[in-house]
A and B are shown apart, each in its own frame.
Chain A
Amino acid sequence: QVQLQESGPGLVKPSQTLSLTCIVSGGSISSGGYYWSWIRQHPGKGLEWIGYIYYTGSTYENSSLKSRLIISIDTSKNQFSLKLSSVTAADTAVYYCARGDLARDYFDYWGQGALVTVSS
């Protein structure tokens, strides 16, 4: 059973960089056929796709965040990461990591979510 777990600071100051890591267990992040995504949910709101990375390092980002976003992968540690720079209160959200199925184009496994609050 594949499991994903987000980790990182729950509080980030405005203008700083939000950093989260997703540790994958129960399967190899290097196996083809999947892409590793970040999705966020503002408090009480809907879901926003942030971007994804393939095990080769290829990335696709939401253009609305691309200038501030870095998604990276560490296959040796079976984890992938998100860095979002110059954060504001509008970046306060629950951040989910999720596995995307490349063939069927759906998100089938999700982390439990990590609440990140941007506040001084």
Chain B
Amino acid sequence: DIQMTQSPSSLSASVGDRVTITCRASQRISSYLNWYQQKPGKAPKLLIYAASNLQSEVPSRFSGSGSGTDFTLTISSLQPEDCATYYCQQSYSTPYTFGQGTKLEIK
């Protein structure tokens, strides 16, 4: 199975900050990497697919980059509603696997 490791596990940032979350795969996965946002009590929501493609209706302050084993999710200007847990997920091969999550809090 492909292991996905996110860092940091949690972070606290202020409104307007630029925030970066990283995800590393245990083997090369090309660009088969998706990012999801999950708020408490809710299902995950797709933000970014194929490493760098913004899902429809997702604010443009979210962006993704990377290929191979190292990937990044960036929020260019943090907003209060971005308080959530973020997960990366590889779709390169089954079993599909997720990172352990990064909990983002607003200072």
Residues of B within 8 A of A48 (CB): 98
Question: Which residue of the partner chain, among B32, B43, B87, contacts A46 with CB atoms under 8 Å?
Answer: B87
How big is chain B's contact interface, by range? Answer: 20 to 34
Smallest CB–CB gap between B10 and chain A, Å? 13
Residue pair B94, A46 in contact (C-beta under 8 Å): no
B43-A111 in contact (CB<8A) = yes
A104 to B46, CA, bound (A): 12
Q: Which 4 A-B pairs have the closest CB atoms?
A: A105-B91, A110-B43, A49-B96, A47-B98
Q: Is the interface of B mostly helix, strand, loop or mixed?
A: loop
Known: A64-B95, A111-B43. A47 touches B87 (CB 8 A): yes
CA–CA, A50 and B19, complex, Å: 31
CB distance from B79 to the nearest CB of A (A): 22
Known A-B contacts A46-B87, A96-B43, A113-B43; A108 and B55 likewise in contact (beta carbons under 8 Å) = yes
A8→B84 CA distance, assembly (Å) = 28
Whether B21 is near chain A, meaning CB under 8 Å from some CB there, is: no
Q: Which residues of B contact A107 (CB under 8 A)?
A: 34, 36, 44, 46, 89
Counting chain B CB atoms within 10 Å of each CB, which of A49, A63, A106, A108 scores highest?
A106
Residues in chain A near residue B42, CB distance under 8 A:
112
Chain A residues lying within 8 Å of B89, measured Cβ to Cβ, are 47, 106-107
Residues of A contacting B99 with CB < 8 Å? 46
Partner of B98, one of A49, A105, A106, A108: A49
